[in-house]
Structure 1
């Protein structure tokens, strides 16, 4: 069942959830934990010091100093769900599982199975992913030859809106530049970005060597 129902789509699902995690991290760093909690979807509202979750069968959960683990779900429909602790780990932090998609976009990710990526480009170098986040590292890697938001969204399987936020972060860091070509907005990697890719992958092709 896994090989038929999950494996062909897993790369896109994984990239999408990684993008959700990166966006949550950005919101928290920029606007604070309250803004993050209020952004998790309808029926979730931070009314300090209580996180209110409008969901059927929801009971009051006391973290008791263990914090709260946020877990986006690709398949969860409707409202959020709270697990008192991680499965098999009694006494651990409660887990807030929230829908990790907007509208029907999660269905469009499964419309067609993309061809397998070359082995060398399936994942960015782990050191680069640790520095930038998995999604932004993948975007930087994909922009070596320049492409648009729509092309990036199609290749990585995440929304154009998420692509715009990530490319803005990379542009502000001086790693990519953006220009218009006809009716398209095209992103390309700057010299600094290529040096970063080169350092992470030890690849002369990225740096322009022979």
Structure 2
């Protein structure tokens, strides 16, 4: 099993942003994201309509990019995808062709001006809708992965697959996936019976918070890498409160205004004690970026860092604790 990372969740969230607010458990997130997205450049709307159309399959960036722990790593990989595979993937989205702005076609062809436009639009949206919540989203997905792995170890593969989703049926050696009209079906964009033979290349399971039941499907790469089955995790009321409510508390907003959103989040992560690698993973940024944030907080007297062999651990100073308690 694998957690795809913030770029994949960002793409799924773009679809939720465009759908009617009929999922109550996502309403706190949607209200903030919709309000903020109105202030973002039109390039984001172009990207959202094409990459995550409300009533058509998503463009499969997942198998092109793979699992990326940080948003920066995901974007870097996306920009390194050769024009050929990217263009072929874009061409498999005929239902969204009318929504494709010319500059997005340029992105697929490797246009040097188009790539900064897309990455810039997505970066603004990531800072608004994903980054403030990423440490909690990552923890949720890690817990889901651990729980499924525990079931497989204790009860076997059959039990683990049987509990993933009601639209999955495991009939060894065949995994049957019921798809909706807007879900990826290789070679055919309408509901159909499609057989995919893995031929030993394997199958990766990837839980997703923002994917919904209609997004469940099998994504097949152009090369011999493992196929990817993305499935939605269950979200209950208490988990929803933990995900969205605390990110909007007055104290968090005040701290973000003082330090900046990412650095404020870094301070809260360090409150639990962590390494630089842990900090990067929970914030969805590169280790270098995490190290820079920790350095600024340390120079401000809010954090103390200790090196042990090849690892640097961070903790709050008394001043850091006072600042968190005051906000």
TM-score of the superposed pair, with normalisation by structure 1: 0.53
TM-score of the superposed pair, with normalisation by structure 2: 0.35
State the secondary structure of the residue aligned to 1:97: strand
1:67 aligns with 2:202: yes
1:47 aligns with 2:180: no
Q: Distance in 2 between matches of 1:118 and 1:71?
A: 25
Conservation of the 8 A alpha-carbon contact between 1:82 and 1:96: yes
Q: Distance in 2 between matches of 1:51 and 1:95?
A: 13
- Kindly provide the CA deviation profile for residues 174-197 of structure 1, in whole angstroms up to 9, marking residues without a partner as x: xxxxxxxxxxxxxxxxxxxxxxxx
- Higher helix share goes to which structure? 2
Conservation of the 8 A alpha-carbon contact between 2:276 and 2:313: no
Distance 1:125 1:33, change over 3 A: farther
1:111 aligns with 2:262: no
State the secondary structure of the residue aligned to 1:121: coil
Query: 1:13 corresponds to which residue?
Result: 137
Q: Distance in 2 between matches of 1:29 and 1:13?
A: 24
State the secondary structure of the residue aligned to 1:20: helix
Conservation of the 8 A alpha-carbon contact between 2:206 and 2:228: yes
- Kindly provide the CA deviation profile for residues 110-143 of structure 1, in whole angstroms up to 9, marking residues without a partner as x: 234074415252647979xxxxxx9xxxxxxxxx
> Which runs of 5 or more structure 1 residues have no equivalent in the other structure?
128-133, 135-199, 204-210
Q: Distance in 1 between matches of 2:177 and 2:144?
A: 19
1:36 aligns with 2:160: yes
What is the CA-CA distance between 1:15 and the residue it aligns to?
0.4
- Kindly provide the CA deviation profile for residues 149-201 of structure 1, in whole angstroms up to 9, marking residues without a partner as x: xxxxxxxxxxxxxxxxxxxxxxxxxxxxxxxxxxxxxxxxxxxxxxxxxxx99
Cα RMSD of the aligned pairs, angstroms, is 3.0
Conservation of the 8 A alpha-carbon contact between 1:74 and 1:106: no
Conservation of the 8 A alpha-carbon contact between 2:275 and 2:313: no
State the secondary structure of the residue aligned to 1:66: coil
1:98 aligns with 2:231: yes
Distance 1:106 1:10, change over 3 A: same
Q: Distance in 1 between matches of 2:245 and 2:313?
A: 36
Greater relative CO, 1 or 2 (CA 8 Å, sep 6+): 2
Query: 2:71 corresponds to which residue?
Result: none
Tell which structure's C-alpha radius of gyration is larger.
2
Query: 1:84 corresponds to which residue?
Result: 220
Q: Distance in 2 between matches of 1:7 and 1:125?
A: 17
